[in-house]
Amino acid sequence: ALRDHTGWQRAWRKAQPKKRYDVVIVGAGGHGLATAYYLGKNFGITNIAILEKGWLGGGNTGRNTTIIRSNYLQDPSAAIYEKARSLYETMSQDLNYNVMFSPRGVMMLAQTEHEVRGYQRTAHANALQGVATEFISAQRVKELVPIMNINGPRYPVLGALWQPRGGSARHDAVAWGYARACSAMGMDIIQKCEVTAVRQEGGKVKGVTTSKGDIDCEKLGLVVAGHSGALADMAGFRLPLESVPLQALVSEPIKPCMDVVVMANTVHGYMSQSDKGEMVIGGGTDAFNSYTQRGSFHHLEETVRALVETFPMISRLKMLRHWGGIVDVTGDRSPILSKAPLEGCFVNCGWGTGGFKAIPGSGWGFAELMARGQSPLTDEFGLNRFTEGRFIDESVAAGVAH
Ligand code: FAD
Ligand code: PYC
């Protein structure tokens, strides 16, 4: 059907690396591209290269299950995730690219008394932070999601933390929209360009060595999610991170049956319905460190088993595809947006299982940090918090997947 569609304009230019840039960003995922975009838009810095070892958006940005919410507990988290959620509301207009943001509502089920108390606490914290969430009853949950069995013998639904303006967006479109806007500002997006070394001189970053040659830069941003440990190693420092696979799967498409996103954190499962009708399903991280970006059958079975008491209908669904991405998990389940020990080098990582929702807020704050050396959105997320013991504990909000 697309036979006669020829001569389409490229969404972003195919670029060859120059010898030198003001800023080099490693990683053309959502966070790297958003950082470049806000460096250009908010600070007028456009002499930028974004280097990607594979294809743009082919890392976790193109592998995630697209849940967007800002119902975190601690103030610094609420600030950056709510900034991101609010930027998602206008992203299609801002980028002139339809990212299909769908604020359909996200609920986190409370299936133990412990979770009831935890989510009521989060709802109170969110009220103080200006984040609109509420704790709703089991009956209200059933009204919103009629296919749910709220009277399961093992894990009955006791209520839920409900964020009506949470939802989802089309992950590829987020990456492509930012990429097109960056390219239009004159930035170079260079795919199949793997960074293999970080070059330094006198304790300051000088540039990078890549599969397409050496590139010099004034400032370097490392934004490579599950490969952050490897890049930090090249730059001569260590990060408090573990890299583990996180898997997801989709079913055959079925008629519309659920128009909100549901997370069941106690049993480690979550589900939403895509625009195509597929049920998008995921569970917890693999129990071992690995760089293997693929799915495995035992994990798939565990996840579906976890959900089937609450969603009996999934026992009859055929599953179509499963896959994995490598997520970078910190001890306090909060990200790292920080100056690195090497002068001129900055690191944005540790989003673990929950960074898709944060892409615009992270890009906004990290761009400010790289341009000005400081940002109110990133101040609390520095590497120094691990040596000073100022953890931002979000293990409950990270929820299902951690
Ligand atoms: P990535 O998109 O992974 O981009 C990093 C890029 O760096 C990659 O493209 C990689 O190829 C490149 N790179 C690595 N090394 C090099 C090198 N040496 N040289 C050049 N380039 C390099 N988050 C949510 O908020 N909601 C969800 O529902 C959700 N679900 C998820 C489900 C799954 C199965 C997975 C895996 C993740 C999920 N996440 C979710 C987490 C989210 O996907 C990530 O936190 C987010 O996408 C990270 O984006 P990024 O731009 O930092 O990383
Ligand atoms: O961060 O909301 C999230 C999430 C859900 C599944 C994976 N991550």
| pLDDT value for 272 | 98
Pocket mutation for ligand 1, best pick of 280, 353, 381, 394 (most atoms within 8 Å of C-beta): 353
* Distance from residue 347's CA to the centre of ligand 2 (Å): 22
Which ligand has its closest atom nearest to the C-alpha of 270?
2
Report ipTM for this prediction: 0.99
Decide: 64 in ligand 1 pocket, CB within 6 A: yes
Q: Whole-angstrom Cα distance, residue 280 to residue 273?
A: 6
Core vs surface per residue 245-275: b (16+ CB within 10 A) or e: bbbbbbbeebeeebebbbbbbbbbbbbbbbe
Ligand 2, atom nearest to 68 Cα: 2
pLDDT tens-digit series, residues 67-76: 999 999 999 9
Residues flanking ligand 2, CB < 6 Å:
65, 67, 69, 270, 282, 353-354, 400-401
Nearest CA to ligand 2 atom 1: 354
Q: Distance, CA 327 to ligand 1 centroid (Å)?
A: 7
260/361 Cα distance (integer angstroms): 23
What pLDDT does 233 receive?
A: 98
Strands 195-201 and 204-210, bridge-based pairing:
antiparallel
- Does ligand 1 come within 6 angstroms of the Cβ of 35? no
Q: How far is Cα 221 from Cα 366, in angstroms, rounded to an integer?
A: 9
Polymer length of the chain: 402
Residue nearest to atom 5 of ligand 2 (CA): 67
Q: Which amino acid is at 373?
A: G
| CA–CA separation, 323 and 63 (whole Å) | 8
Give the predicted TM-score (pTM) of the model: 0.97
Q: Which atom of ligand 2 is nearest to the CA of 355?
A: 1
336: amino acid identity, one letter? I
Per-residue pLDDT of the chain in tens (402 residues, 90 and over written 9): 778 888 888 999 999 999 999 999 999 999 999 999 999 999 999 999 999 999 999 999 999 999 999 999 999 999 999 999 999 999 999 999 999 999 999 999 999 999 999 999 999 999 999 999 999 999 999 999 999 999 999 999 999 999 999 999 999 999 999 999 999 999 999 999 999 999 999 999 999 999 999 999 999 999 999 999 999 999 999 999 999 999 999 999 999 999 999 999 998 899 999 999 999 999 999 988 999 888 888 889 999 999 999 999 999 999 999 999 999 999 999 999 999 999 999 999 999 999 999 999 999 999 999 999 999 999 999 999 999 999 999 988 887 666
Q: Which of 285, 356, 402 to mutate for ligand 1's pocket (most ligand atoms within 8 Å of CB)?
A: 356
Nearest-atom index, ligand 2, CA of 354: 1
- Cβ(67) – ligand 1 distance below 6 Å: yes
Sheet architecture: strand order including 241-253: 134-136, 159-163, 106-110, 261-264, 269-273, 278-285, 241-253, 319-330
Query: Measuring CA to CA, which residue among 117, 93, 367 is closest to residue 221?
Result: 367
Q: Ligand 1 pocket, 361 CB below 6 A? A: no
For the purposes of burial, counting CB atoms within 10 Å of the CB of 132, is it exposed (0-12), middle (13-18) or buried (19 or more)?
middle
